[in-house]
Amino acid sequence: MANTTLFSSLRGAFVPNASARNEAGGLAYVRTPESALALYAATGCLNGTFYASAAEQLDKALALAAQCDPAFVARTAVYARQVAHMKDMPALLLATLSTRDRELLAKAFPLVVDNGRMLRNFVQIVRSGVVGRKSLGSLPKRLVRQWLERASVDAIVQAAIGNQPSLADVIRMVHPKPVDPARQALYAWVVGKPFDIEALPAKLQAYEAFKRVPVGQLPDLPFQYYTSLRLSAKQWRVLARNASWQTLRQNLNTFARNDVFTDGETVKALAATLRDPAKIAKARVFPYQLMMAYTASGGGDVPTAIREALQDAMEVATRQVPKLDGRVVVAVDVSGSMGSPVTGHRKGATTSVRCVDVAALVAACVQRSNPDARVLPFDTDVRPLQLNPRDSVMTQAKQLASLCGGGTSISSPLARLNREGAIVDLLVIVSDNESWADTRAGGATETMRQWAQIKARCPQAKLVCIDLQPVATSQVVERDDVIHVGGFSDAVFDLLAVFAAQGANSPRWVDKISSIEL
């Protein structure tokens, strides 16, 4: 008789054999170049992760871009910037077009380079030589020059914050032509050359005067222009009230050190800003950024009212998570590798937010909108945890993330459902996709085998795999009942809602990217 272990039959749809090994050594399926590039673009921050260095990520992203049609690369760059709100990857993909398709570069450039930070990222990447050139060249130089010439005074002032390269370096490279004395003075001010003070915009004239005598009203300039000046507590409070939403979130402890929160009216005003739905939407805040701010502000100097406002902001930022019909299960990977920073290791600036924190946030957000949803944290097996749907998103996420540790067996929650004979309409797996503890000598991945059993019992079931790290392999094959999506922006929830409602008729993630107009 043939070996029954090797040749045991599986119920349900045909289960394809795995075609690769992942970074952890487990059986896996190779993603298409387009699907892999989309994942890298939505999750890759070009910093080291648990399984790959920053250099390895860069090499893989460049290799994937080279395998894809330039038009798809251009659309992926636009998606990564406008929908996933990434910074480095869209600039990298845009830079690759400078050596492949000039027309597409010109079309995608204004859609990707939407502020000075992105402009400087693009210039830095092109001049680094990683895309095959070290000079900007005529077209990229013209595009950068046009951005400078069309940018408002406020955009130039904001863009002048930051280095490597600085905006002054960029101006020296491309030599924008000032259209009037005011623009000439502005460029000279940025570069550090002598300028006509009377030709400067009024706010910069006021700033130069304030630097000489730092008294009176603060000119309306970004927060960073004042951090090196000696300010009174009253001036710091004005600075905090005038700060952008993101600047306020990022500098709560700085404001606390400078006595901003000793004034009750200021605390009320800043708390109102932090929970303002319109300002939260405009800031394009990620839920994990709110978690980071909440965690960092827990030292005692930031008042309770401000921290409560952050919790309120979290509820606002995640309220668009859809109501899902049927029996919903969210499987959250809490294995050891999920303890790595979600945006990678970066010398001197590594985020305290881990992949497991983001995965826990996704689960908590789904349960927030779907109180009957079942949450299954897992490593090599399902971990026991009972969440209270009435708890805040922040509290639920903290409880889930506290379980982090152990090996990875993505099939374990599916196996649990099969042992129970559970009926499932929608299963969502949030993971870094590096399953290895459940690997086999060959054949299909164990996750795919367990999914086939669920489908045999629940033919209507759908599977959504949310990937939080840039990896070129997966544990299940994408098909009518399975969809992959990567990233940690609210775009993930949009795709989740559409797929849950439409199933096989819903557009794939790659299809949505391919439909972007240039």
pLDDT at 185 over 50: yes
pLDDT in tens, 461-502: 999 888 887 777 889 988 889 888 876 666 677 777 777 777
Q: What percent of the chain has pLDDT over 70?
A: 91
State the average pLDDT over residues 166-183: 93
- Give Cα 341 to chain centroid, integer Å: 12
pLDDT at 160 over 70: yes
State the average pLDDT over residues 180-200: 94
- Give Cα 127 to chain centroid, integer Å: 25
Average pLDDT, the chain: 85
Which class would CATH give 20-30+321-514?
A: alpha beta
* 165 vs 440, more confident: 165
pLDDT at 60 over 90: no
Q: Which two tokens stand for residue 224?
A: 């960073």
Highest mean pLDDT among 131-135, 394-398, 445-449: 445-449
Ranges 9-13, 66-70, 418-422: which has the least confidence: 9-13
Is the separation of the CB atoms in 354 and 400 below 8 Å? no
State the average pLDDT over residues 396-414: 87
Highest mean pLDDT among 223-232, 328-337, 411-420: 411-420
Say which amino acid occupies 397: A
Taking CA atoms, 379 is separated from 285, 336, 459, in Å, by 29, 8, 27
* 396 vs 121, more confident: 121
| DSSP per residue, 440-460 | -SSSS-HHHHHHHHHHHH-TT
- Domain extents for the chain? 20-30+321-514
pLDDT in tens, 63-119: 989 999 999 999 999 988 988 778 888 999 999 999 999 999 999 999 999 999 999
pLDDT at residue 3 in the model: 44
State the average pLDDT over residues 249-254: 91
pLDDT at 440 over 50: yes
Q: What percent of the chain has pLDDT over 90?
A: 43
pLDDT at residue 52 in the model: 45
The Cα angle at residue 252 between residues 315 and 338, in degrees rounded to 5: 60
pTM of the model: 0.79
State the average pLDDT over residues 33-45: 78
The pLDDT confidence band at residue 274, using thresholds 50, 70 and 90, is very high
pLDDT at residue 510 in the model: 84
pLDDT at residue 305 in the model: 94
pLDDT in tens, 311-344: 899 888 777 677 788 899 999 999 888 887 766 5
pLDDT at residue 366 in the model: 83
pLDDT at residue 347 in the model: 53
Quote the CA–CA distance of 136 and 127 in Å, as a whole number: 6
pLDDT in tens, 195-219: 999 999 999 999 999 999 888 888 8
Scored b (16 or more CB within 10 A) or e, 342-352 reads: bbbbeeeeebe
Classify residue 64 by its DSSP letter. H
The pLDDT confidence band at residue 423, using thresholds 50, 70 and 90, is very high
CB hemisphere CA count around 83 (13 angstroms): 23
Spatial CA neighbour of 52 closest among 348, 439, 288, 337 = 337
Ranges 250-259, 422-431, 496-505: which has the least confidence: 496-505
Is the separation of the CB atoms in 187 and 180 below 8 Å? no
The pLDDT confidence band at residue 49, using thresholds 50, 70 and 90, is very low
Highest mean pLDDT among 15-19, 209-213, 336-340, 385-389: 209-213
